[in-house]
Amino acid sequence: MKISSINISSEILHKMYVTMLRIRLFEEKVADILSNSKEIICPCHLYIGQEAVATGVCMALNKDDYVFSTHRSHGHYLAKGGDMKRLMAELYGKETGCSKGKGGSMHVAFKDVGFMGSSAIVAGTIPLAVGAAFAFSIQGSKRVSVAFFGDGATHEGTFYESLNFASLKKLPVIFVCENNQYSTHMPISASLADVRIYKKAGIFKMPGIRVDGNDVIKVFEVTRKAVEEARKGNGPTLIECLTYRWRGHVGPSYDLDKGLRSKEELDYWMRRCPIKRLERLMFKLGCLTKDQKDQIYENVKKEVEEAVIFAKESPYPKEDELYKDLLND
């Protein structure tokens, strides 16, 4: 890690650290609940290990920029500024949930902070993000739109169609591919003839960049640049973030027992923990002390605990909620 290249205020580093930690501890708590109780029923795809991507990207955005997400939504939601309590309540299926309990883990949104929803359909939100960027361009606004998606989404034709249209019209959209090297149980090489996802931008005359997705600063810098270009009207960028999910595809297990991946592989990636990495850097730069760190952990833990209490204490939606919110004025 070249410290000399760090051109980021310590305030931002702190924000990144806190954001990543909020995601991590939230997710660890969810894993805990999933393992030990039936309080959360809906399928949860945990983001642990990938925190640097959501954090680095969203840190480069304004509040009124848009983000679209996937089945693995919690990290994006929190990084963009969604309310943690209401996220937990959503997982519990409560009426105070960010989606009133109708969406569950895979369908969370927080419109006030530009978090425009997550789709459980692989690649489903990619064209939506392009469409929002298209609106921004028609409106003459300077906002940008981000599509988060996994490596699996690059199997779907809509990924290519969306890149083509975005580049053709030079739209202010950033395509953020979180390449965690698996699509459910399938390693990426079993699905893609060429696993270099960033290269797929080239055939649409669009810049494509691969970045270490466990390095929050790199992710932030690359995104900042892409956002700058987008705001200037120079069109979209595809950013491939190489990363890894620690847990299995869905739920709290590690997918090790079923022979889907090796303990060595997991260990390798756990050693490359994005949070520890930033922490080390911040210690080195002297912008984080042991006491501060403890305090941050304390605060975040408390926030998570409060979210759980909020979720537990909230009522379930009433029966007639089932029929509401389909078509409204």
Partner 1 sequence: MIKMRRLLYHQAINEALHQLIERDPRVFLIGQGVTSPWYVGRTTVGLIHRFGPKRIIDTPVSENSITGIAIGAALAGMRPILVHPRMDFMYYAMDQLANHAATWRYMFGNQFSIPLTIWGIVNRGGGQAAQHSQSLQAIFMHIPGFKIVMPSTPYDAKGLLVSAVEDNNPVLYIDDRWLYNCEGEVPEDLYKVPIGKGIVRREGKDVTLAATSYMVVEALKAAKVLEGEGIDIEVIDIRSLKPLDKEILINSVKKTGRFIIVDGGWRTCGVSAEILSIITTEAYDYLKAPALRLALPDVPAPASPALEKVYYLNSEKIIVKVRELMSDKN
Ligand X SMILES: Cc1ncc(C[n+]2csc(CCOP(=O)(O)OP(=O)(O)O)c2C)c(N)n1
Site residues (CB under 8 A) for a copy of itself, limited to 161-200: 161, 163-164, 167-168, 191-194, 196, 199-200
Beta carbons within 8 Å of 164's beta carbon, 6+ residues apart: 204
Rg of the chain in Å (alpha carbons): 19
Interface map 243-262 toward ligand X (x if CB under 6 A): ------x-------------
Pair of tokens at residue 185: 């149980």
Q: Check if the beta carbon of residue 206 is closer than 8 Å to that of residue 235.
A: yes
Candidates 213, 216, 138; CA nearest to 178 is: 213
Residue 205 binds to partner 1 (criterion: CB under 8 A): no
- Under rule CB under 8 A, which residues in 199-218 are in contact with a copy of itself? 199-200, 202-206
From 4-12, 155-163, 266-274, 290-298, give the range in contact with partner 1 by CB under 8 A: 155-163
* Residue 203 binds which entry of a copy of itself, partner 1, Mg ion, none, CB below 5-8 Å type-dependent: a copy of itself
Residue 329 binds to partner 1 (criterion: CB under 8 A): yes
- Minimum CB distance to Mg ion smaller for 65 or for 151: 151
Residue 98 binds to partner 1 (criterion: CB under 8 A): yes
Separation of alpha carbons 158 and 175, rounded Å: 13
Beta carbons within 8 Å of 139's beta carbon, 6+ residues apart: none
**What sign does the dihedral 49-146-185-23 (CA atoms) show?**
positive
* Residue 38, burial from CB neighbour count under 10 angstroms (0-12, 13-18, 19+): exposed
Residue 127 binds to ligand X (criterion: CB under 6 A): no
| Min CB(124)–ligand X separation in Å | 7
Separation of alpha carbons 150 and 181, rounded Å: 9
* Residue 202 binds which entry of partner 1, a copy of itself, ligand X, none, CB below 5-8 Å type-dependent: a copy of itself
CB burial of 190-214 (b: ≥16 within 10 Å; e: otherwise) equals eebeebebbebbeebebbbbbbbbb
Tell me which H or E stretch contains 126. helix 126-139
Residue 235 binds to partner 1 (criterion: CB under 8 A): no
Candidates 181, 179, 240; CA nearest to 208 is: 240
* Residue 164 binds which entry of a copy of itself, Mg ion, ligand X, none, CB below 5-8 Å type-dependent: a copy of itself
| Min CB(119)–Mg ion separation in Å | 15
Closest residue to ligand X, judged by C-beta, is 150
* Residue 72 binds which entry of ligand X, partner 1, a copy of itself, none, CB below 5-8 Å type-dependent: ligand X
- Minimum CB distance to partner 1 smaller for 48 or for 130: 130
Separation of alpha carbons 142 and 193, rounded Å: 37
Candidates 266, 249, 121; CA nearest to 186 is: 249
Cβ count within 10 A of residue 13: 22
- Minimum CB distance to ligand X smaller for 25 or for 122: 122
- Under rule CB under 8 A, which residues in 103-142 are in contact with partner 1? 103-111, 116-117, 119-124, 126-136, 138-139
Of these, 19, 180, 223, 243, which contacts Mg ion (CB under 5 A)? 180
Q: Check if the beta carbon of residue 277 is closer than 8 Å to that of residue 269.
A: no
- Minimum CB distance to Mg ion smaller for 49 or for 56: 49
Q: Half-sphere exposure (CA, 13 Å, Cβ side) for 131? A: 8
Residue 151 binds to Mg ion (criterion: CB under 5 A): yes
- Minimum CB distance to partner 1 smaller for 4 or for 37: 37
Residue 182 binds to ligand X (criterion: CB under 6 A): yes
- Minimum CB distance to a copy of itself smaller for 186 or for 250: 186
Please state the separation of Cα 141 from the chain's center in Å. Answer: 24
